[in-house]
């Protein structure tokens, strides 16, 4: 009997090649598409058909949208984490993909798991480290293996698929595209060459010429730091995020280009779109800044940096990450209310905050009135700055 193997399958160029490679090596290939949102029913049906046409013994479709909301989006919004202050870790569906694939391995009675990562990027760390964190499995990476034998990997893959009579979308020869509930990432072609992305590279955000004429205002409701409603209607997290992606994407909100340091030492450049994530981060920050104390707000920045570093580099199941999330969860007790976001196109602002927990002293309004005396203000300044004043006096003599 052939050894069974589970392949994390997206239907793209790399994982399509992986099916052919693994079949040729004698495996009984079971493809698994872990649905983390972002695709239509027709798109998912096309992926299933593609897997079968490539020779997969069986194809599985497993929904993980609610899990990616709960395990990733919620703590991301709590922390306001963006890698280097820019990239909100849209790659993080990888961790749930591996988790579900390993569960499928267990049900099929196999210890063989495969992915389509290259040997150059961070995805291989996310996949491999997650496997090692969750169990003992043999990891197969056909694309990474191919790089030791072939110089132009993408061209080689395209040729192999063409010889097998498997059609490849024209965009696959130009870009590597990943779409999920969080948004879309695009790399390859002119993006890799530090050129401006072509207009057809963008997927869920419209060009300026297509923006609606009227501004858009949306009200996002939060309960203890978790978004629970849109314009007064209660919604599940995945539905809310998909709605934000669609409605704000029509206004061109959420386009970004990011250059970062890949963990193994390369520079990586991607274009990405995340209108929903952008709006949740902006709305949550406006609300949290109004209700939490100065020390809570300051400490959040350090948490965000460390949380982003762990998630970006593959340590999603690192115990220290859960330590950070325990603090973040505790800091959300009073982050409840409604935030109004507005866009005229291209960018957005959190323009209004309504919450019963705003840290507000009615007798003190910034730059207008206060309930302390001028003498008290002068004394406060003197005492607060005493160390700096003394340093200036002592060191100024030298």
Q: When comparing pLDDT for 7 and 162, which is higher? A: 7
Taking only the tens place, the pLDDT of each residue in 289-320 is 999 999 999 999 999 999 999 999 999 999 99
Q: Tell me the C-alpha distance between 383 and 152, whole Å.
A: 66
Residue 31 has pLDDT above 90, yes or no: yes
The residues spanned by each domain of the chain are 4-180, 183-354, 361-398
Residue 374 has pLDDT above 90, yes or no: no
pLDDT at 223: 98
292-297-300 Cα angle (round to 5): 125
pLDDT (average), residues 261-266: 77
Q: Tell me the C-alpha distance between 279 and 341, whole Å.
A: 7
pLDDT at 171: 58
pLDDT (average), residues 353-363: 90
CB 120 within 8 A of CB 266: yes
Nearest to 306 by CA among 323, 292, 287: 323
DSSP letter assigned to residue 69: I
Q: Tell me the C-alpha distance between 50 and 237, whole Å.
A: 30
Residue 28 has pLDDT above 70, yes or no: yes
pLDDT at 363: 72
pLDDT at 188: 87
Confidence of residue 266 (pLDDT cuts 50, 70, 90): confident
Q: Tell whether domain 4-180 is in CATH 3.40.50.620.
A: yes
Residue whose token pair is 């495969």: 114
CATH number of 183-354: 3.90.1260.10
Tokens of 79: 């922390």
Taking only the tens place, the pLDDT of each residue in 164-210 is 888 877 655 678 888 899 999 998 889 999 999 999 999 999 999 99
CB 29 within 8 A of CB 110: no
pTM of the model: 0.90
Q: What is the mean pLDDT of the chain?
A: 93
Tokens of 166: 């498997």
CB 332 within 8 A of CB 78: yes
pLDDT (average), residues 49-66: 96
138-147, 240-249, 371-380, range with the lowest pLDDT: 371-380
Taking only the tens place, the pLDDT of each residue in 201-239 is 999 999 999 999 999 999 999 999 999 999 999 999 999
Tokens of 127: 């996949």
3-7, 81-85, 374-378, 385-389: range with highest mean pLDDT: 3-7
CB 237 within 8 A of CB 73: yes
77-81, 189-193, 350-354, range with the lowest pLDDT: 189-193
Confidence of residue 268 (pLDDT cuts 50, 70, 90): confident
């Amino acid at each position: 009997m052939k050894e069974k193997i589970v392949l994390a399958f997206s239907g793209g160029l790399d994982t399509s090649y992986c099916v052919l490679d693994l079949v040729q090596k004698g495996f009984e290939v079971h493809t698994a598409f872990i649905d983390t949102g972002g695709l239509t029913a027709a798109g998912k049906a096309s992926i299933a058909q593609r897997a079968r046409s490539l020779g997969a013994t069986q194809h599985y479709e497993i929904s993980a949208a609610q899990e990616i909301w709960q395990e990733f989006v919620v703590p991301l919004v709590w922390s306001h984490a963006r890698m280097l202050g820019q990239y909100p870790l849209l790659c993080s569906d990888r961790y749930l993909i591996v988790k579900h694939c390993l569960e499928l391995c267990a049900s099929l009675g196999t210890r063989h798991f495969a992915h389509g990562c290259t040997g150059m990027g961070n995805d291989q760390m996310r996949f491999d480290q997650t496997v090692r964190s969750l169990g003992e499995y043999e990891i197969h990476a056909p694309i990474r293996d191919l790089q030791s034998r072939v110089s132009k990997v993408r061209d080689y893959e395209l040729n192999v698929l063409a010889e097998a009579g498997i059609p490849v979308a024209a965009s696959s020869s130009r870009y590597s595209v990943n779409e999920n509930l969080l948004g879309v990432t695009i790399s390859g072609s002119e993006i890799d060459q530090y050129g401006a992305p072509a207009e057809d590279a963008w997927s869920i955000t419209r060009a300026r010429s297509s923006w609606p004429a009227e501004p858009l205002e949306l009200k996002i409701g939060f309960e203890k730091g978790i978004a629970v409603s849109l314009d007064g209607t209660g919604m599940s997290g995945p539905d809310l995020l998909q709605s934000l992606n669609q409605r704000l994407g029509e206004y061109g909100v959420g386009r970004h280009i990011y250059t970062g340091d890949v963990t193994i030492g390369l520079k990586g450049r991607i274009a990405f779109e995340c209108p929903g994530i952008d709006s949740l981060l902006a709305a949550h920050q406006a609300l949290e800044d109004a209700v939490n104390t100065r020390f809570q707000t300051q400490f959040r920045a350090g948490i965000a940096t460390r949380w982003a570093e762990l998630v970006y580099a593959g340590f999603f199941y690192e115990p220290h990450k859960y330590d950070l999330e325990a603090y973040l969860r505790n800091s959300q007790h009073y982050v409840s209310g409604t935030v109004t976001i507005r866009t005229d196109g291209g960018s957005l602002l959190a323009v209004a905050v309504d919450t019963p927990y705003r840290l507000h002293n009615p007798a003190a309004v910034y730059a207008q009135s206060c309930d302390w005396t001028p003498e008290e203000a002068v004394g406060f300044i003197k005492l607060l700055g005493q160390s700096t004043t003394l340093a200036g006096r002592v060191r100024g003599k030298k």
